[in-house]
Structure 1
């Protein structure tokens, strides 16, 4: 039974490291692309379009005008 509780105690650290790892690997590639001058505009436009589409969808789902 102590093994079970040890595993339960380790779970939050595991989830935290998985989430941090996901964001680090995702944003590292974006930042590497932003260092190149010719890709900076393209990546910026893609990010802005993604954020605007996401906010538009959420507003329509929640009924916010």
Structure 2
């Protein structure tokens, strides 16, 4: 039984490290793009539009007005 719990704890560590690695890789790229003056406005608009679209879709799916 201890082998089972050991495997579960190793899986959780692996899972969290994959999630953290994904976000660090994604945000690092976005922050590098935001350092350039001419791309800052474009990236900001894309992020705002993306969040707005996701919000509208979720409200429609959940029936929230």
State the TM-score, normalized to the length of structure 2.
Answer: 0.91
Give structure 1 stretches of 5+ with no counterpart. Answer: none
In 2, Cα distance between the equivalents of 1:64 and 1:4? 43
Residues 1:30 and 2:24 aligned together? no
Matches within 5 A, 1:1-65: 3-65=3-65
SS in 2 for 1:40: helix
In 1, Cα distance between the equivalents of 2:20 and 2:54? 22
State the TM-score, normalized to the length of structure 1.
Answer: 0.91
Give structure 2 stretches of 5+ with no counterpart. Answer: none
After superposing on structure 2, the runs of 4+ consecutive aligned residues of structure 1 that deviate more than 6 Å are: none
In 2, Cα distance between the equivalents of 1:48 and 1:61? 20
1:5 offset after TM fit, Å?
4.0
SS in 1 for 2:38: helix
Provide the alpha-carbon RMSD of the alignment: 1.3
